[in-house]
Structure 1
Amino acid sequence: MLTVNIICIGKLKEKYWVDAIKEYSKRLGAFCKFSIIELSECKTNQDPNEKQIAHILEEEGKSILSKIKPTDYTVAMCIEGKIISSEDLSKLIDDVQIDGKSTMNFVIGGSWGLSDEVKKIANYKMSMGKMTFPHQMARVMLTEQIYRGFQISSNGKYHK
């Protein structure tokens, strides 16, 4: 069974986001071993300069990279990534399994995005679109789309 991780910076705080993730996590249990790995945000002042932002990206990047094995298939969620359909995501998940990978990671960075090092090791770069979403919402949307992808692959009734 495929292990699917969402590796992300920051913790969900609001109960409604936590509840949404719990629901989709429960549903995903029929298809994969699903987990969310929450990593600490680097603390900074409200208006960091470029040097401080570079430091944040580097430190958060190290934290993210410590959770990824070289044998994992890793998807970096980033604005310059490819915008794909739910069906395309389903096919990507299927292809990862067919290729014999046992773990698939989706990585969501912090407020300043992902470090270049994380993007370099990613097998795929994916974007949720040209709009900007709060990270908590993006996490829920991604979890739902992963569930939808498995439903599409299994010809489930969820996807219409």
Structure 2
Amino acid sequence: MLAVRLICVGKLGEKFWAEAVREYEKRLGAYCKLEIIELPEQRLPQTPSAGEIAQALDKEAALIDAKIPQGATVIALCVEGKELSSEQLADYLGRLTVTGTSRLCLVIGGSCGLSDKIKARAALRLSMSPMTFPHHLARVMVLEQLYRALNIAAGGKYHK
């Protein structure tokens, strides 16, 4: 069974986000072994300089890097990434498993995004949209699309 680690910078605050995440964790149990890791977002001043942002992203990158399992295929969620349909994501994940990939690591950055170091490590830079979403919503969206893609790959009827 595919082992999936979702690394998220920032904590879920509101109860409704946590409930949505729990629902997809439950659904994904049929398709993968899911682990969600939350890392602290670095504190920044109200109007941070480019240098302060870069320093914060570097600190977050070190924390993220330490949590990426050895041998895992990394997918970085970033606005400049490639946009895929649900079917294309299902195909991508299917090709990974056929080639022997057993560990997948998806990474969602905090409010300032992801460090270039993490993006460079990724086998795929994935964008859900050119629009900006709060990372809480992005987490739910990633889990839903992961569920949808794995269901499609398994020949399920969830996707219409």
Residue equivalent to 1:78: 78
Q: Secondary structure at the match of 2:101?
A: coil
Alignment RMSD? 0.9
Percent identity between matched residues is 49
Q: Secondary structure at the match of 2:150?
A: helix
User: What CA deviation, in whole Å up to 9, does each residue of 1:69-124 have, x standing for no partner?
Assistant: 34110001111110000001111111111111121011111111111110111111
Give every structure 1 segment of 4 or more consecutive aligned residues whose post-TM-superposition deviation is greater than 4 Å: none
Offset at residue 47 of structure 1 (A) = 1.1
Residue equivalent to 2:125: 125
Q: Secondary structure at the match of 2:34?
A: strand
Partners of 2:80 and 2:130 within 8 A in 1: no
Q: Secondary structure at the match of 2:38?
A: strand
Residue equivalent to 1:12: 12
Q: Secondary structure at the match of 1:66?
A: helix
Q: Which amino acid aligns with 2:98?
A: I
Residue equivalent to 2:44: 44
> Which blocks of at least 5 consecutive residues in structure 1 are unaligned?
none
Q: Distance in 2 between matches of 1:35 and 1:16?
A: 19
Q: Confirm or deny that 1:114 pairs with 2:109.
A: no
Q: Distance in 1 between matches of 2:30 and 2:75?
A: 22
Q: TM-score when scaled to structure 1?
A: 0.97
State the number of aligned residues: 160
Q: Which amino acid aligns with 2:42?
A: C
Residue equivalent to 2:3: 3
Q: Distance in 2 between matches of 1:38 and 1:91?
A: 28
Q: Which amino acid aligns with 1:12?
A: L
Partners of 1:4 and 1:104 within 8 A in 2: yes
Q: Secondary structure at the match of 1:77?
A: strand
Q: Secondary structure at the match of 1:74?
A: strand
Q: Distance in 2 between matches of 1:64 and 1:131?
A: 24
Partners of 1:77 and 1:109 within 8 A in 2: yes
Q: Distance in 2 between matches of 1:95 and 1:34?
A: 19
Q: Distance in 2 between matches of 1:130 and 1:112?
A: 15
Q: TM-score when scaled to structure 2?
A: 0.97
When structure 1 is superposed on structure 2, of 139-148 and 60-69 the one drifting more is 60-69
Q: Distance in 2 between matches of 1:71 and 1:96?
A: 12
Residue equivalent to 1:24: 24
Q: Which amino acid aligns with 2:8?
A: C
List aligned pairs for 1:45-64, cutoff 5 A: 45-64=45-64
Residue equivalent to 1:144: 144
Partners of 1:96 and 1:104 within 8 A in 2: no
Q: Distance in 2 between matches of 1:127 and 1:104?
A: 17
